[in-house]
């Protein structure tokens, strides 16, 4: 895929590949992709996570995804190896559709940096 490929096309390609690899072919949704990014960013591999850990994984992913936009900044790793971020700038008040577009764009950018689309 080249730079002119649209966000929608990249998102659909990403969902197709990740769903095949991690969801037994069922289509992942936005939250599912965020969760996978959280697991990746934690760096401890896949294991059974408790409910509160799943919420924390999603928080890690959101912070990582929004870091390039200037909303969060990495702070430190705790004793258990979990990354912590601090808020740098308040998130804007966005409508749900706008939030979804921002997160999809951030996710596509995250995978772009990893050369996923090449």
Q: How would you write 60-84 as a 3-class SS string?
A: HHHHHHHHHHCCEEEEEECCCCCEE
**pLDDT: which is higher, 2 or 29:** 29
Give the burial class of 40: count Cβ atoms within 10 A of its Cβ; 0-12 exposed, 13-18 middle, 19 or more buried.
middle
- Asked if residue 3 has pLDDT above 70, the reply is no
Say if CB 47 and CB 81 are below 8 A apart: no
pLDDT of amino acid 104: 96
Contacts of 65-72 with C-beta under 8 Å, sequence gap 24+, read 65/34, 65/37, 65/103, 65/106, 65/107, 65/109, 65/110, 66/91, 66/106, 68/106, 68/109, 69/106
Q: How confident is the model over 53-101, as pLDDT tens digits?
A: 999 999 999 999 999 999 999 999 999 999 999 999 999 999 989 999 9
Of the given ranges (2-6, 31-35, 87-91), which has the lowest mean pLDDT? 2-6
pLDDT for 24 beyond 60 = yes
Closest by Cα among 31, 41, 30 to 84: 41
């Amino acid at each position: 895929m080249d730079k002119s490929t649209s966000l929608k096309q990249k998102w659909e390609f990403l969902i197709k590949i990740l769903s095949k690899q991690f969801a037994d072919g069922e289509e992942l949704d936005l939250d599912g992709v965020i969760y996978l990014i959280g697991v990746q960013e934690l760096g401890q591999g896949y294991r059974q996570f408790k409910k509160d850990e799943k919420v924390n994984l999603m928080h890690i992913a959101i912070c990582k995804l929004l870091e390039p936009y200037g909303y969060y900044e990495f702070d430190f790793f705790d004793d258990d190896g979990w990354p912590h971020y601090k808020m740098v700038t308040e998130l804007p008040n966005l409508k749900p559709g706008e939030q979804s577009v921002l997160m999809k764009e951030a996710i596509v950018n995250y995978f772009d940096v990893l050369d996923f689309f090449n």
